[in-house]
Amino acid sequence: MVKFHRLAWFTTIVIGVQMVLAGIIVGKDAGFVCPSWPFCGRSGSFQMTGSLIFELTHRFVALLLGVLVIWLFAWLLISYRHHRAMVWTCSLGLLSLLIQIIYAGMIVLFVFPGIATTVDVLNSMIMLSLFVHLANLAQREYQVNRGNGPVESDIESRALHPSAWTLYAAGMLTVAAGAVFRHTGASQALFGQDSYILSHGQTVPPSQVVSHALLNIHMATAVLLMIAGVWFARVAFQTKRLTKTAIVVLSLIVVQAILGVASLATKLALVVVTFHWGVAGLILGVIALALSRTYVGVPPTKRRFRPVNGNVA
């Protein structure tokens, strides 16, 4: 039998898959291979190519995601409407999904310039974060109902709030800088390429000066992310909360830096750039989970409680 928290986690995974598919479509300059939206036009009006298959898969997963989110929302209203945090989080997640769908359709129908896709990127990260939080809340609710202890955040977990929020902000800033670098065509312009902006109806790529400036800004935000990650890890080890999560975040940031260098070294090879984007989503997802846990506390099954008689459970 499907449990609510498992459905929430599955929905979150589908969001991640959808984001990776979107990255592949950007890498293949396939955003406009379908002549219309939400469908691809009349049968036989276009050729079935690899790019089109990715685009059709992307739209199918978007439909699946919509069904899952509506299912979650309806389930919440029926069984968990007393849990305001979950209801509000799912409501915001549903709103984010609607924005994503409508804005993506507008990009295709009106052929927005490449830079406009930055909004799509940032909203996808926000949506991922919201559903990570929802899944975490749902899992804690499930554990409480099974008698595994309270979910209230303890003092040590709350001490992580400033560093966790700073880390999340730094992550979003890094993603924004990377999205601008990619979607203005600056990343391709470094290597004399312009296929991405051409697919958006643009003919003038950014200059080398602008391209290098945007690259330097992106690198600077990556340094800020590493500093924020170190601060979060320091507080985590001081409070003895979320230490493993802190190590995972720092490790992923290092991997992301390596992938960033590899992306430039391979002149934006599709596989490398896709991994670079995928790890960016993974980093924000893990940070969102860490931030969520600073509010609801560490998993109750891993907490140690001291009963009245002084024995540790």
Give per-residue pLDDT as tens, 233-283. 999 999 999 999 999 999 999 999 999 999 999 999 999 999 999 999 999
What percent of the chain clears pLDDT 90, i.e. is strictly above it? 72
Cα separation of 146 and 210, whole Å?
57
Query: Average of pLDDT values for 13-32?
Result: 91
Q: What is the mean pLDDT of the chain?
A: 89
pLDDT band (50, 70, 90) for residue 54:
confident
Cα–chain center distance at 111: 24
Q: What is the pLDDT of residues 27-48, one digit of tens each?
A: 888 878 886 777 776 555 556 6
pLDDT level of residue 51 (50, 70, 90 thresholds): confident
Q: What pLDDT was estimated at residue 180?
A: 97
> Which pLDDT band holds residue 301 (cuts at 50, 70, 90)?
very low
Q: Which tens digit of pLDDT belongs to each residue from 93-130?
A: 999 999 999 998 899 888 899 999 999 999 999 999 99
Average pLDDT for 300-312 = 40
Who contacts 157 (Cβ-Cβ below 8 Å, separation ≥6)?
239, 241, 242, 293, 294, 295, 297, 298
pLDDT at 188 over 60: yes
Q: Is residue 312 pLDDT above 60, yes or no?
A: no
Asked if residues 263 and 273 have their Cβ atoms less than 8 Å apart, the reply is yes
Answer whether residue 226 shows pLDDT above 90: yes
What is the spatial distance between Cα 37 and Cα 101, in angstroms, rounded to a whole number? 10
